[in-house]
Structure 1
């Protein structure tokens, strides 16, 4: 079994929280609340208890919804993920208890991560617990994993995440709308004196905030170089022994952390790079200058994208995109309660019926950096162990089809089944016209009929034809010709375009396949089967 890299929920969750906060609140002090200090303090968490609720709401125009979209919305609209209890004993030992609430009912679940060993998951509707090993079956780890684990420990010990957070938040501007007041909040049945921060921004503020942040960062040379220096002090001592070896096998191979043998291929270049990397001042200067160049390109790219006339981009950068945050910090500047709301308008302007998607994340935190004991979850005598030659598809056999989880999987499977169109195939003498017919060994179909199956647009001009598919593929044809121009490139079809009165018949297989269909022939049924592309 290949090594399964351990997922540290605490690690990614704190960065997610930080990202949401800094987008919403910037970095400057307000009303006695030092936002920089508060946000960075949130990175220094080794244990805690927390409850989190994530909810989804889709705004829709029922008159524009397809039957499939209606079914999807009926199932998922106002879905809610409740993590009622998250007990973080340490970064690698924690437990979760929660449930997924849908219109049809509730699916409870439990999870437990036991140090360096394994993750245990129980979900209502599964006949057995799932066990995800976090090491090799013999308890060993690959060289690459050993390297990354060592880097992770050094990274945490030196507080690099806090240094990075400080660099980011100290250069972020505040949004236009933000205020801080003092008051109290009930948090896990406890009345707590807090700083209450409320802020909001819309899509029109995103680009100016991003550009200001990048400009600030490129000007903050001292702090930027200091952070790179701290990162160098963590990375270089760990990487250097591997880089000094003659052979550096690939990270894709378990026996080595860094790359296929480079010594013979790079010759003196390797020694030059090693010498430059060993000089901290030179290495920091090189990385700093390179990073600034990347930021300059990012600044130009963001500005250029904001000027695009692409409707989807303009919609995202409009007032319809909304971010709202209500945060409560205790007197020690620990985040104790949050309510974050994100509204994203549909990129297509609601043409498909869904006009906007709204996410809401609410959380309460207590017992931060106090003794916390995770709830041990017993996997039972015969758990389903991921890996060990088992695929995720085998896990589906453990699902009770009568359970809500089973019904949900069946619904999703049905929704994702390819759409198939069966077209009767006639001989030329029997053609009505309906369906397709054979002529000189080639199957033909009226273009308008084929286009209706594929949701393609067809424009006729004299005897020239332009077909535009759902993925914007453009096919240009001409009556009496076997040449097709597909996205500007010429192809020879297996037959010519035939004009039959007011209609045009085209070689079915060629046109369908160029528009991303799969074409099959059932000789017994004398039927052509088109598997349509997903739109």
Structure 2
């Protein structure tokens, strides 16, 4: 199924509308949204699911993909945010009527995760990223400040959708009844063009807010530019704008604000015509930007202006074309948060014996063999995802493998070919032998230079020709023998093309 990103532009736009709800019935949405940025500790839970509605006459291949999408779900029963920044989560991943438990933990050094059936956890080292960010001038605190400025700017200028309300409610949050304010809003696709136009008109007039946002952007990016170029405090000429002394914040902010405002005003002049042209060039967008595309959101905020519960239901209508054979695509998510600012301790996962997924050396076989063969994840990785499947095609005059044909037998460089089938190749200096270990099945193959015998899983096997070394120092063995010993099949067509397949 070929995905077309343009169909999901309304998805982003709808979520921006949510962020842009202005004060409603005296309820300050801006403070509620920004207030949670400063939360240092909390516990939460969430659920997430997707649903793709297929078009009529969908192909079997696309139907299989739709069924796969619809089978996926995510449920986090308990996520913990500790005051020191440590995070842990426990939950289940739904896949083809299976519910697979998982756990993860992250601190300043490592991200560790494990799933049901894994013999050892997996980890990804994150230590040192702060130093890397600092070296290029990135400041995470300033990034947080910029995020607040952006939220404030959008909330201030984006018009409210037609369906929005605020009501007092009493709802259960993690088993405790809490008095809250419920913000309910609904946005349909046909509202988006007018909302966006209203937003552009508002920001064009909001000199103070626009300038403040550009100033925040300057504070965030200028150290990056300076770290990359020691002369960043000098004058820079920007095409279409002129010469700007980058070290002079006031001058830079003024010039960039004026340029941005000019661009917004120019867009407003042609907005309606451009929208009409877009509909004509891409008529399918009329389906996407129709009343059938809808976002419904409920946000529950307590007296401390903390979001305690959220329900999000998004449906994007799709044109059902050949490239995107769907009538609609839906997302549903719900969450609740408790113990805000309380004593929270994330649940650590030991990295002892864990597999490092960042090194690039982790083979599919090592990944697969880290799971119990009877586990659901093992079957998914091997049968559904096919992580151990390999297909190698070798031309008669292949310039990568440089196969040698002698007496109707094709010989291949042992190391290159074995490693492409995820095997581990080692050199035994004492015995002048090459040891090949199958990365998936664990079989052990031993070849000795000049010997006409190989040892496969302890049994001697006669070779058509002794193992030989070419002028470049590469050891050659029979392609078919090596491939079949590594659980692959070999097919040679009438033109001499060789296809090696491992399932």
Could you say which TM-score interval applies, normalised by the shorter chain?
Answer: 0.5 to 0.7
Counterpart CA distance in 2 for 1:398 and 1:59 is 36
Distance 1:362 1:389, change over 3 A: closer
What is the match of residue 425 of structure 2? none
C-alpha distance in 2 between matches for 1:351 and 1:242: 43
**Quick one: distance in 1 between partners of 2:335 and 2:301?**
12
Cross-structure match for 2:302: 330
Task: Confirm or deny that 1:390 pairs with 2:377.
Answer: no
> Hey, what does 2:478 align to over in structure 1?
none
Cα distance in 2 between the residues matched to 1:96 and 1:350: 40
Q: 1:173 to 1:390 in 2, by over 3 A?
A: same
Contact 1:81 1:99 in 2 (8 A): yes
CA 1:296–1:371: 2 relative to 1, 3 Å:
farther
Cα deviation code 1:34-83 (max 9, x no counterpart): 1222222232222221111001122235x623223333344442532001
Please give the secondary structure, in 2, of the residue aligned with 1:197: strand
Establish whether residue 87 from structure 1 lines up as the match of residue 80 from structure 2.
yes
Cα gap change, 1:313/1:526 in structure 2, threshold over 3 Å: closer, same or farther? Answer: same
Contact kept? 2:235, 2:246, Cα under 8 Å: no
- Equivalent of 2:247, from 278, 282, 298? 278
Do the aligned partners of 1:26 and 1:175 also contact (CA within 8 Å) in 2?
Answer: no
| Distance change (3 Å), C-alpha of 1:418 and 1:325 | farther
Give the equivalent residue in structure 1 for 2:23: 29
Matches of residues 211-250 of structure 1 in structure 2 within 5 Å? Answer: 211-236=197-222, 239-240=225-226, 243-244=229-230
The whole-number CA distance in structure 2 between the counterparts of 1:388 and 1:522 is 36
**Counterpart-to-counterpart distance in 1, 2:114 and 2:294:** 36
Q: Which residue of 1 aligns with 2:39?
A: 45
CA spacing shift, 1:207–1:90, aligned 2, 3 Å: farther
Matched, 1:314 2:286: yes
- Kindly report which structure 2 residues correspond to 1:72-221, keeping only aligned pairs within 5 A, or say none: 72-90=65-83, 92-115=85-108, 117-135=109-127, 144-148=132-136, 150-156=138-144, 159-221=145-207
Structure-2 separation of matches of 1:107 and 1:417: 23
Q: Structure 1 unaligned runs (5+)? A: 1-16, 249-262, 420-520, 530-535
Q: Distance in 2 between matches of 1:357 and 1:415?
A: 28
Is the contact between residue 277 and residue 283 of structure 1 (CA under 8 Å) also seen in structure 2?
yes
Q: Give the TM-score normalised by the residue count of structure 2.
A: 0.66
Distance 1:168 1:333 in 2: 19
Residues 173 and 213 in structure 1, CA contact (< 8 A), matched pair in contact too: yes
Query: Counterparts of 1:415 and 1:131 in 2: how far apart (Å)?
Result: 19
Of the structure 1 ranges 101-110 and 74-83, higher mean CA displacement relative to structure 2 is found in: 74-83
Show structure 2 runs of 5+ residues with no match.
Answer: 1-10, 392-490
TM-aligned CA distance change 1:106 to 1:149, over 3 Å: farther
Q: 1:49-60 to 2 correspondence within 5 Å?
A: 49-60=43-54
The Cα of 1:402 is off from its aligned counterpart by 4.1
Structure 1 Cα separation of the partners of residues 113 and 334 of structure 2: 23
Partner of 1:524: 494
Report the more deviating stretch, 140-149 or 210-219.
140-149
Cα distance, 1:28 vs. partner? 2.5
Distance 1:274 1:127, change over 3 A: farther
1:238 deviation in Å?
6.5
In 1, the alpha carbon distance for the partners of 2:88 and 2:13 equals: 24
Q: Give, in whole Å, the separation in 2 of the partners of 1:22 and 1:142.
A: 29
Aligned-residue offset at 1:293? 4.3
SS, match of residue 105 in structure 2: strand
Q: TM-score, normalised by structure 1?
A: 0.63
Give the aligned length: 384
Q: Is the Cα contact below 8 Å between 1:37 and 1:333 reproduced in 2?
A: yes
Aligned CA RMSD, in angstroms, stands at: 3.8
Change (3 A) 1:295 1:107: farther
1:193-248 Cα shifts (integer Å, max 9, x gaps): 11112111111011111121122112211111123224434544575465326xx9
Rounded to whole Å, the distance in 2 between the matches of 1:308 and 1:347 is: 15
